[in-house]
Structure 1
Amino acid sequence: MTDLKSRFTGVFTALVTPFRDGTIDFDAFDALVERQLEAGVAGLVPVGTTGEAATLSDDEAEALIARTVALAKGRALVMAGAGANDTKKAVDKVRRAEKAGADAVLVVTPYYNKPPQSGLIAHYGAVASATTLPIMLYSVPGRCGVEIAPETCATLAGRHSNIVAIKEAGGSAARVTALRLACGPDFIIHSGDDGLTLPFLSLGAIGVTSVVANVAPDVMVAMVDAFQNGDTHKALKLHELVAELTDGMFIESNPGPVKAALAISNLAGPEMRLPMVPVSDANRERLAGILGRYASAASNFQEMR
Structure 2
Amino acid sequence: MKIEQLYGTGVALVTPFAKDGSLDLPALRRVVRHSINGGVDYLVVLGTTGESVTLEPQEKEKVIQTVISENDGALPLVIGIGGNNTAKVAEELKKADLSAFDAVLSVSPYYNKPTQEGIYRHYKVLAEASPKPVILYNVPGRTGSNMLPETVVRIAQDCPNVVAIKEACGNMDQIRELIRTVPSGFYVISGDDITALPTIMEGGIGVISVLGQGMPAQMSRLVRLGLNGEYEAAKQIHEALKPGMDLIFREGNPAGIKAIFESLGIAGASVRLPLVEATAGLKSKISAFIEPFAITI
Q: TM-score range by the shorter chain?
A: over 0.9
The 1-side partners of 2:248 and 2:120 are apart by 32
- Other-structure match for 2:2: 4
Q: Which amino acid aligns with 1:244?
A: P
Segment of structure 1 superposing worse, 97-106 or 155-164: 97-106
Segment of structure 1 superposing worse, 98-107 or 114-123: 98-107
The 2-side partners of 1:195 and 1:43 are apart by 19
Residues 147 and 154 of structure 1, relative CA distance in 2, 3 Å threshold? same
- Other-structure match for 1:24: 23
Structure 2 matches for 1:227-266, cutoff 5 A?
A: 227-266=226-265
Runs of 5+ in structure 2 lacking a partner?
none
The 2-side partners of 1:174 and 1:66 are apart by 40
The answer to whether the 8 Å contact 2:94/2:131 transfers is no
Structure 2 matches for 1:77-96, cutoff 5 A?
A: 77-95=76-94
Q: Equivalent pairs: percent with the same residue? A: 36
Structure 2 matches for 1:179-218, cutoff 5 A?
A: 179-218=178-217
Aligned-residue offset at 1:175: 2.1
The answer to whether the 8 Å contact 2:179/2:202 transfers is no
Asked if 1:143 is matched to 2:142, the reply is yes
3-state SS of 1:101 partner: coil
Residues 159 and 185 of structure 1, relative CA distance in 2, 3 Å threshold? closer
Normalised to the residue count of structure 1, the TM-score between the two structures is 0.91
Aligned-residue offset at 1:133: 0.6
Q: Which amino acid aligns with 1:178?
A: E
Runs of 5+ in structure 1 lacking a partner?
none
3-state SS of 2:43 partner: strand
Structure 2 matches for 1:1-305, cutoff 5 A?
A: 4-20=2-18, 21-95=20-94, 97-99=96-98, 101-295=100-294
3-state SS of 2:48 partner: coil
* CA offsets 1:191-231 (integer angstroms, 9 cap, x no match): 11101111110001001000001210001111111122232
3-state SS of 1:99 partner: coil
3-state SS of 2:50 partner: coil
* CA offsets 1:34-72 (integer angstroms, 9 cap, x no match): 111112211101110100011012232233223323332
The 2-side partners of 1:283 and 1:100 are apart by 40
Aligned-residue offset at 1:233: 2.1
In the alignment of these two chains, the number of paired residues is 296
Aligned-residue offset at 1:17: 0.2
3-state SS of 2:169 partner: coil
The 1-side partners of 2:206 and 2:181 are apart by 19
* CA offsets 1:236-273 (integer angstroms, 9 cap, x no match): 11112211111111111111111112112111011111
Aligned-residue offset at 1:185: 4.1
The answer to whether the 8 Å contact 1:12/1:208 transfers is yes
The answer to whether the 8 Å contact 1:66/1:102 transfers is no
Deviation >3 Å, runs of 4+: 95-100
The 1-side partners of 2:72 and 2:220 are apart by 19
The 1-side partners of 2:96 and 2:284 are apart by 38
3-state SS of 1:209 partner: strand
Residues 249 and 185 of structure 1, relative CA distance in 2, 3 Å threshold? farther
Normalised to the residue count of structure 2, the TM-score between the two structures is 0.94
